[in-house]
Structure 1
Amino acid sequence: MATRFARHCCLSAALLLTLSAWAPAHADASATRPVPTLTLQGQAQGAERQWDGVIQAVRQSTVAAQVPGNVTALLVKAGDTVKAGQVLARIDARDASAGLLRSQADVAQAEAQFNNARMQWERAQSLKAQGFISAAALDSARAQWQAAQAGVSAARAGRSQASLAQGFTTVSAPFDGRVLATHIEMGDLAAPGRPILTLYAPRPLRAVVQVPASQSDQVRTAQRVEVEVPTAGGATTWLRPTQVVALPGADPVSQTVEWRLELPDVAALPGQNVRVRFAELRNDPANAATTASQLSVPASAVLRRGELTAVYVVRGGRFMLQAVRTSTSPSSPGPVTLLSGVRPGDVIAADALKAGLANATPAKP
């Protein structure tokens, strides 16, 4: 008797739980969830080729030392903004100052020898006029005067060079920009040609992509070139470059041709990876089927579950799951290109997750 009572209590409890779970669903059975839709439209696209590129600054230079000496001051660090002519570093100038003093002494000595040779030349002219010296002696005095004149010019040139070398002990910014990296620390020994820091101008920027030489001819006929660049908020967008230049030669090792694409004002940093695509438009009737099959939709309209990639297509006023094939990987941001499974003119849900909920219906336009 006790066993039957316990079994009856369990069945009653299960029934109550079933009714409590069914009641809200039954209450919402009449409620519909309208989901926005969009109509697929064919885009005039043809063959498309994509490669990874990198952002470069159009103006970027590595500032190097021009004289030897210890670095006595490094006045900037990576990330600092500098102005043209601003002092970036200082190198020990004692050796350069001593060289300048030595060259100034050489100039004074050369000028004294020149003055003496000039007076000897003038005296020789007077003595020759009186017949006291020969023509050979006059020629010798003139040669000494000309050699002393050349010595003065050489000494003055040396002084200018020493003065210039002393100026090289102060390293200045060649243009307005930002410090990308420093390659030396205070106290290190600087040497001619040793890099001190790398400086770049934040604007303008360009994308550089290495295109296989075997596909160079096809890329040159591309009618649309775009670069996928980052935007605010971590998203990306495709932009058309303001200028496209291909270098005239190919790399002998990688057999690639470097393409440089000047970009408008973008929020990117040198060294950042980007995606570059070259598309060839095909509007001729022979390629109409290929052109029409290139459909681009927002990523939210595509449902990905394991190996399944699908969209919700409107059929008879209801959403029907339709498998599709795309040209992008599941992790790729931005719009998704549908290659098969749908046709231009089909109406699909703009949000695949909402379209998969119960009672989801296409929103009225």
Structure 2
Amino acid sequence: MNTPHSMYCDMTKLNPNWRLRAAVLLLALGLASAWAQTVPTVTLQAGPGTGGFALDGVVQAVHQTTVSAQANGRIVTLRVKAGDQVKAGQLLATIDDRDAVVATQRSQAQMLQATAEHRNMQAQYERTRELQQKGFVSKAALDTASSQLQAAQAATEQAKASVQQSGIGVSHTRVVAPYAGWVLQTHLQEGDLALPGSPVVTIYAPQPLRAVVQMPGARAAEARSATQTTLEVLGATGGGVALKPTGRQIVPSADPVSQTSEWRWDIAPQDAAHLIPGQQVRVQFDGASSGAVASLMVPSQAIVRRGELTAVYVAQGKGFVLRAIRTGAQKTAQAQEVIAGLRTGDVVALDPVKAASQR
């Protein structure tokens, strides 16, 4: 019968390195336990707010135009694409102008005919007037000749107007840029049928730009009383750049469904030079008169930014889970306000790298 001592001796004979392997395993478990214990955390507590709030909006071009077709016909050439820079008056597209050219030629022929008829009526009037002065024709004959001359003159003027109108029709087959800017989108391609009013190209001017927010009616009074308004434009990494608006406009109407009104803030030219329409912007209202509201602050070092994701690692069970959050104003260099995604009592990891290893 084998005793524990004999079994121990047999194991050492079969695997002389077992002690080393066991020591390595125990060391690894000890390091993992120590690692888990060294993840610094903080428990969130609601603190006094500053009486402010934030709303999300978007950067918008003040001058953005959808250039539409003004003539019937197929698109013959489309000379621009999305992302192209254009100058004022630059040709964007051409529409088949054969019908317009034929109409112009017809109008020109009618004008030549009307001009010839007018010259004939002018000569006939002169002869009738001379004969009337000599007593060979009556005053009624002269009046008739005068009426015919006036009718011929009116027909000539009408023919000239028709030529001008047909010329405008030809010009409508050329779609040009109304101002210098950038092509945002093309709506038709070569060969597509264009009708009057059909969108062809959308362009925008890179300056000036503005920030636009849909303001809830319940918060309008609070926003008006804010002592400071800051625009935070979110970048590709999730971080924000704080800007000071140069002016504000409030559209005096409300959406009947959402009960919001549009508020606009002008962006300074030097700031707008680094922005493009469509970027997300957060408008922060500080010092509102509604009173300070309790807010959650999270240390900046705990925030993880991955592309459009802003998140923190929150303790759950024996590990951590990544939770998306919505941040507010950057109150200090070390802390940022959290307006959604966390609540009082949540335990947040201060070292996201270490917390990620325990997910």
User: What TM-score, normalized by structure 1, do the two folds share?
Assistant: 0.71
* Structure 2 counterpart SS, 1:206: strand
| More displaced 10-residue stretch of structure 1: 102-111 or 248-257 | 248-257
Residue 315 (structure 2) pairs with residue 306 (structure 1): yes
Closer, same or farther: CA 298–173 of 1 in aligned 2, 3 Å? farther
Contact 2:79 2:91 in 1 (8 A): yes
Give unpaired runs (5+ residues) of structure 2.
32-39, 41-46, 304-311, 318-322, 331-335
Closer, same or farther: CA 282–119 of 1 in aligned 2, 3 Å? same
Residue 275 (structure 2) pairs with residue 274 (structure 1): no
Closer, same or farther: CA 184–120 of 1 in aligned 2, 3 Å? same
How far apart, in 1, do the equivalents of 2:52 and 2:282 lie?
Answer: 16
The alpha-carbon deviation at position 21 of structure 1 amounts to 7.9
* Structure 1 counterpart SS, 2:118: helix
* Structure 2 counterpart SS, 1:249: coil
Give unpaired runs (5+ residues) of structure 1.
25-34, 36-41, 309-327, 342-350, 358-365
How far apart, in 2, do the equivalents of 1:16 and 1:44 lie?
Answer: 53
* Structure 2 counterpart SS, 1:306: strand
Residue of structure 1 equivalent to 2:192: 188
Residue 92 (structure 2) pairs with residue 88 (structure 1): yes
Overall identity of the aligned pairs, in % = 40
C-alpha RMSD of the superposition:
4.0
| Deviation string, structure 1 residues 25-81 (Cα, Å, up to 9, x no partner) | xxxxxxxxxx9xxxxxx9993232x33322221111111111111111111111112
How far apart, in 2, do the equivalents of 1:170 and 1:338 lie?
Answer: 53
How far apart, in 1, do the equivalents of 2:101 and 2:287 lie?
Answer: 64
Closer, same or farther: CA 331–5 of 1 in aligned 2, 3 Å? farther
**Aligned pair partner of 1:330 in 313, 325, 330:** 325
Closer, same or farther: CA 352–160 of 1 in aligned 2, 3 Å? same
Contact 1:231 1:266 in 2 (8 A): no
Closer, same or farther: CA 129–211 of 1 in aligned 2, 3 Å? same
Residue of structure 2 equivalent to 1:67: 71
Contact 1:231 1:267 in 2 (8 A): no
Q: Which amino acid aligns with 1:271?
A: G
Contact 2:225 2:288 in 1 (8 A): no
Equivalenced residue count is 309
The alpha-carbon deviation at position 15 of structure 1 amounts to 8.9
How far apart, in 2, do the equivalents of 1:148 and 1:251 lie?
Answer: 58
How far apart, in 1, do the equivalents of 2:27 and 2:58 lie?
Answer: 59
Q: Where in structure 2 are the equivalents of 1:88-237 lying within 5 Å? A: 88-231=92-235, 235-237=239-241
Contact 2:210 2:266 in 1 (8 A): yes
The alpha-carbon deviation at position 187 of structure 1 amounts to 0.8
| Deviation string, structure 1 residues 303-349 (Cα, Å, up to 9, x no partner) | 742369xxxxxxxxxxxxxxxxxxx96354873128999xxxxxxxx
Residue 272 (structure 2) pairs with residue 265 (structure 1): yes
**Aligned pair partner of 1:353 in 351, 354, 358:** 351
Residue 86 (structure 2) pairs with residue 79 (structure 1): no
Q: Which amino acid aligns with 2:351?
A: L
| Deviation string, structure 1 residues 205-240 (Cα, Å, up to 9, x no partner) | 222211123433332333322222134755222322
Closer, same or farther: CA 116–43 of 1 in aligned 2, 3 Å? farther
Contact 1:298 1:334 in 2 (8 A): no
The alpha-carbon deviation at position 130 of structure 1 amounts to 1.4
